[in-house]
Amino acid sequence: MRGRESTVVPFADPVIAVATAAIACLVGSQYSPLGWGPDPVAYALTVLIFLPLAVRRQVPVLALALSNSALLVFVGLGYPQLGMNFWGPVLAVYSVASLRPPKIVALCYSTVVPVLLWAGLRLTLPWYIAVAEAVVFPLTAWALGNVGRQLELRNRQLAVLTEQLRVEQESRTERAVTEERVRIARELHDVVAHHMSVIAVQTGLAGYVFDDDPPTARAAVNTISATSREALREMRRLLVLLRTDDEPDDTALNLAHLPELVRRMRATGLPVSMDLPADGLDELSPGLQQCAYRVVQEALTNVIKHAGLASTEITVVRGVDHLTVRVSNKPGQPVSSAGLSTGHGLVSMRERAALYHGTLVAERNADGGFVVDLTLPTGADDRPSAV
């Protein structure tokens, strides 16, 4: 609406009013066979008929009343021809119809028709022509003005809807930013929890065999060093997402990184075996792959915390419309130096699964071990949903 108002020329209506009055005076003076001659009253009334159009936007009803009254006086004085004066009230009807409700327009229309009809009969026109001009011309102006008014109302409604959409878009953007922050917080939790658990285990091992078995202690220290560097790299990936406009998919971990994760776990002494499909995984969305990777990482972290170096198996199955990931481990002894569990690991995994419309089941096996089953749909709409 602000843009539309800026396109209105402030002096357009006064210029149009003066121009139409001048043209009407010129036509009236040269009308054949009967002109007005040098009669100043005819010209003055003609000016009064068209000059109110200068304020037709501000006071359309008053402008119509003044124009119609001037025409009534002009006809009452018995001038032999109207020239263009007939069109003054008609144009005023258009202005009223484009700016006021139909009830007001109907009232104004009812005052214009008798004046135009009388003017036509005073010119000795056939009665049916006089009636047609008095009724049809202002009615057409009414219809055209009403169309303009409806378009104006629709423009205003569109302006309101546009503003609402803008506010909603800003709200959605804020929600997206919040959700992204929550996602990054989860990523940081997984990175820190996983790598710190590995470091805790290796630190305890190095301290235990430091004097008796220096090679084993040195290997544990090397594992701590490698794990620390990997933790820094993963945290750097998350910080890149905050500092640049790159898409998350460019730096996100995926199922192709699982072999590297398994190698790191084996380096800590955790016996891990994995069954990973050779193909079919690249077709999955990056976000879904990252979800599966993080669940496996968190499950291995829980194994180290609660079962120590227990034998663990990872199975990834790519179905027709779903991806299944299973992490199961044999019974083992908890590692005291790994720290107490906060219980957030399983909650985080279930939230990740729900984010991609999947399910996660975590329960004990019959032999006393533990199993984590993740099922994620891989349909066309595998984008994350709000949680």
**177-377: in CATH 3.40.50.1980:** no
Region 77-93: what's the mean pLDDT?
A: 86
Q: Helices (DSSP H) in the chain: which residue ranges?
A: 2-5, 12-30, 40-50, 60-76, 87-99, 102-122, 127-209, 214-243, 258-267, 286-307, 344-355
Q: Return the structure tokens found at 131.
A: 């009636």
Could you give the strand order of the β-sheet that contains 312-318, starting from the edge strand earlier in sequence? 272-275, 312-318, 322-329, 370-377, 359-364
Q: What number of other Cβ atoms are within 10 A of residue 73's Cβ?
A: 12
DSSP state of 271: -
Share of the chain above pLDDT 90, in %: 26
Region 305-312: what's the mean pLDDT?
A: 86
In this predicted structure, the answer to whether residue 242 has a pLDDT above a threshold of 60 is no
* pLDDT one-digit tens code per residue, 157-174: 998 898 888 888 888 877
List the Cα angle 131/83/119 in 5-degree steps: 30
Higher pLDDT pick, 337 / 171: 171
Region 113-139: what's the mean pLDDT?
A: 87
Please report the pLDDT score of residue 10 as a whole number: 57
Mean pLDDT over all residues of the chain? 81
Please report the pLDDT score of residue 108 as a whole number: 92
Higher pLDDT pick, 383 / 142: 142
Region 269-284: what's the mean pLDDT?
A: 86
Of 4-8, 15-19, 106-110, 296-300, minimum mean pLDDT range: 4-8
Please report the pLDDT score of residue 340 as a whole number: 44
Instruction: Write phi, then psi, for 105 (nearest 5 degrees).
Output: -65, -40
CATH 3.30.565.10 domain span(s) along the chain: 177-377
Please report the pLDDT score of residue 39 as a whole number: 84
